[in-house]
Structure 1
Amino acid sequence: MRNVAHLKLERGVGLIEILVTLFILAIGLLGVASLQFVGSFANKDAISRTQSELVANQVAERLRAAAIPPLTGDGLVVHNQYFASANYNFSGLSCTGDPYDCHCLSRPADVPDCEGNQCSALEVAQYDGWALSCAAVQTNPTTQLSVTCTDLIAGDASSCSAGSMIHILVSWPVHTAGNQQYSLHSRCNPSTGDKNSCIFKDILL
């Protein structure tokens, strides 16, 4: 009789306790998954920002390396091709996949070979535009490169006269997750509806 009474007092884990435990575990797993999801966007943006900073510095170095004295006056200028929008982002080249794989693993036929050959100032600018565009999309295929100038002397032969400010802009689309908010800079988003992040540099030669 004593053994029977002892057995009646023993209890196992009930179904309700199991369901509550599973529910708590599921909430914890969802929280971890959400953190990983949001973290992946932040990590991608950080990689794009780091690469864009490097590209902007490379653009500045290429421009300074290509600078020559103007036909008249003092200072330095570069070939007008550097400020042509078609000089960047593989303009005129078609691609159905990753732009780096399409245009950068081998030099396109339309791009001058200035690595081992003598090139004119125009050809150097075209080659630099291609090489810099490749660097821009190396880690993010949606990155765009722009080089513009606030010309001090309108009407002369140079698109960017000596002493003019050169603007280097490397931008990429912003990806958001959940309630994550971005403060969009006007320099990165010149058109209404744009949602870009960017790196920009203003330099003088």
Structure 2
Amino acid sequence: MRVKKVAINQVKGSTIRLQRGVGLIEILITLFILAVGLLGVAALQFTGSFANKDAISRTQAEMVAAQVAERLRAAARPATVGDGMVANNDYFSDTTYNFSGLSCASTSQPYYGCCLTRPADIPNCEGQSCTETQMAKYDGWALSCSAVQTNPQTTVSVSCADNNNADTYSCSPGSRVEVLLMWPVSSSGNHQYQLNSRCNKADGDSNACVFKDITL
């Protein structure tokens, strides 16, 4: 074998050197290319996690906003003053939603503390009669639980642009009702949020939201 190899080398007019191992420069270049590729993958996953979280929050908020509208219409009754439908005033109170007054609201995961078991302060309106005020409180709790099921920072707000301040209704017949679900967001990397002025009323606010305007 050794004689044959020498003959081949003489024909080619060159000397064959056997390379053993890999040089340090080749190793460094390989590591650099690998590091750049891994950083790109990490950045893509980081940005994707932000987008995925926002998509889940937005989908849930859309569903809850529709539920709020359905509950309001189910609770509506003919007005005694004016022509149209009205709902109990407590449906338009901030204290009705977001576990207001409940100790479980201070936890980082209100869904597990407030929703898996009905708090004692919330009336049991399932399968038994409740007054309009009790029903509003129960609905507010149930809707708040739906809102925080996927994002504990989501808040529910139901307000009314009352067109008649002279009557006793917080939302007079024919008034526009705004259902707003909102949660804080932050821009990071290549993921930039287009903030809506309707859910970012003050300078420095950074919220995403879903809103629905209805009339009863």
TM range, smaller chain: over 0.9
Residue 17 of structure 2 corresponds to which residue in structure 1?
9
Match of 2:35 among 14, 26, 30: 26
Indicate conservation of the 8 Å contact 2:81/2:167, yes or no.
Answer: no
Matching residue's letter, 2:23: G
Residue 177 of structure 1 corresponds to which residue in structure 2?
188
Residue 124 of structure 1 corresponds to which residue in structure 2?
135
Residue 58 of structure 1 corresponds to which residue in structure 2?
67
Matching residue's letter, 1:89: N
- Number of aligned residues: 205
Matching residue's letter, 1:173: P
For 1:84-99, list aligned pairs within 5 A.
84-95=93-104, 96-99=107-110
Q: CA deviation at 1:18?
A: 1.3
Q: CA deviation at 1:193?
A: 1.4
SS at match of 1:168: strand
User: Could you tell me how far apart the structure 2 residues matched to 1:102 and 1:33 are?
Assistant: 34
User: Could you tell me how far apart the structure 2 residues matched to 1:26 and 1:129 are?
Assistant: 51
More displaced stretch, 162-171 vs 71-80: 71-80
Q: CA deviation at 1:181?
A: 1.9
SS at match of 1:172: strand
User: Could you tell me how far apart the structure 2 residues matched to 1:41 and 1:183 are?
Assistant: 14
SS at match of 2:85: coil
Q: CA deviation at 1:83?
A: 0.4
Residue 165 of structure 1 corresponds to which residue in structure 2?
176
Residue 77 of structure 2 corresponds to which residue in structure 1?
68
* CA-to-aligned-CA distance 1:83-110 (integer Å, 9 cap, x gap): 0000000011123330000100000000
User: Could you tell me how far apart the structure 1 residues matched to 2:137 and 2:177 are?
Assistant: 18
User: Could you tell me how far apart the structure 2 residues matched to 1:121 and 1:67 are?
Assistant: 10
Residue 122 of structure 2 corresponds to which residue in structure 1?
111
Q: CA deviation at 1:7?
A: 8.6
User: Could you tell me how far apart the structure 2 residues matched to 1:68 and 1:58 are?
Assistant: 18
Rg: which structure is higher?
A: 2
SS at match of 2:51: helix
Residue 186 of structure 1 corresponds to which residue in structure 2?
197
User: Could you tell me how far apart the structure 2 residues matched to 1:191 and 1:127 are?
Assistant: 31
Residue 78 of structure 1 corresponds to which residue in structure 2?
87
SS at match of 1:146: strand
User: Could you tell me how far apart the structure 2 residues matched to 1:42 and 1:89 are?
Assistant: 25
Structure 2 length-normalised TM: 0.90
2:53 pairs with 1:44: yes
More displaced stretch, 1-10 vs 99-108: 1-10
Residue 153 of structure 2 corresponds to which residue in structure 1?
142
Matching residue's letter, 1:196: N
SS at match of 2:156: strand
Segments of structure 2 that go 5 or more residues without pairing to the other structure are none
User: Could you tell me how far apart the structure 2 residues matched to 1:201 and 1:50 are?
Assistant: 14
Match of 2:166 among 137, 151, 155: 155
Indicate conservation of the 8 Å contact 2:180/2:210, yes or no.
Answer: yes
